[in-house]
Structure 1
């Protein structure tokens, strides 16, 4: 992973005027290189400063969101895996709110595409999905660009305190009710009785 990050830094520094374009495109490549979103966003803050780093990261993350929306339905095996992970982590009938997704994106070990899938389930139409993606990508870009250099100085107890705070926010922003269709509920009940 360090080699990939070094490649990004060299590519951007040598790119001159095309450096922002290279950085934005690197956001798309990040998924295939298994580099966490937070690492790339922090690098954007180091390379371009707070304002431009945040702007370029939001543009890059929006590109990733468009890519995900366009291709997830064409990859059924990947979609099945994401559904299994979603059901295991959040429950089969639980739909995350846009606010919850925005908070969960701030937690580095929660998978970015899992949250994009939850967002697509919540907002299935493209225009709604893109608006919600923008709202959930701004906090991660802003937070990791500005606070990226300070995160390394945090003590483990302070990091745990931050994660507990984010967990409380996710709980407070949850849906207060859950609607399960009759067909789905009774189908599940019959399967349990038969099994």
Structure 2
């Protein structure tokens, strides 16, 4: 998959005026290719620079969110699977405010669609879902694209050091046990075990 991403990015860089459209399409089909949001958005900052990378990544993330809403209702098995993930992440109450959603959206180990599913379940209607998605998609577009633009400006030793830092950061933040849900102790009070 990494070779596919590199080839795709090289093609997008050489595409000229329709490169942004190809990048946005890459964002929308990213879930099918099993590419992480972090990787594609970093690439946007690297290829287009910080300002345009943020804009194109934001449009792509909104495209993914809108497509998700439309598709999830057509696939009941995926709906049920995401409902189980939502229960593991947020428990039965799941009272998460917009600021927490903004932070969760940039956490690399929180599944993008699980968070979209949470927003969908908590929204009153489609319009409310779109409004909330429009707010929470700002954080990955800004943060990840800024890192991508920074990587583009760093010399090779800086890129290597930054990559090692990211790997260490992801290692530290990983769930400690296999099958252990992401700990959300700070987000809500834990449900007592029977």
Q: Same fold (TM over 0.5)?
A: yes
Normalising by structure 2, what TM-score?
A: 0.78
Q: Which moved more, 1:142-151 or 1:2-11?
A: 142-151
Question: 1:70, CA displacement in angstroms?
Answer: 1.1
The residue number in structure 1 matching 2:3 is 3
Q: How many residues align?
A: 173
Alignment of 1:1-195 (within 5 A): 1-148=1-148, 149=151, 151-152=162-163, 154=165, 174=187
Task: Tell whether the 8 Å contact from 2:65 to 2:116 is kept in structure 1 after alignment.
Answer: yes
- Unpaired runs of at least 5, structure 1: 177-191
Normalising by structure 1, what TM-score?
A: 0.78
CA deviation map 1:129-179 (0-9, x unaligned)? 11111111111111011124374252777667889xxx99x766x478xxx
Q: Which moved more, 1:152-161 or 1:130-139?
A: 152-161
CA deviation map 1:69-91 (0-9, x unaligned)? 11111111000001111112221
Question: 1:23, CA displacement in angstroms?
Answer: 0.1
Structure having the larger proportion of residues in helix:
1
- Unpaired runs of at least 5, structure 2: 152-158, 175-181
RMSD between superposed Cα atoms in Å? 2.7
Q: What is the SS of the residue equivalent to 2:96?
A: coil
Q: Residues 110 and 81 of structure 1: is their aligned pair in 2 closer, same or farther, counting only changes over 3 Å?
A: same
Runs of 4+ with deviation above 3 angstroms: 155-163
Name the CA distance, whole Å, in 1 between partners of 2:85 and 2:68.
Answer: 17
Q: Which has the larger radius of gyration?
A: 1
Which is bigger in relative contact order (C-alpha 8 A, separation at least 6)? Answer: 2
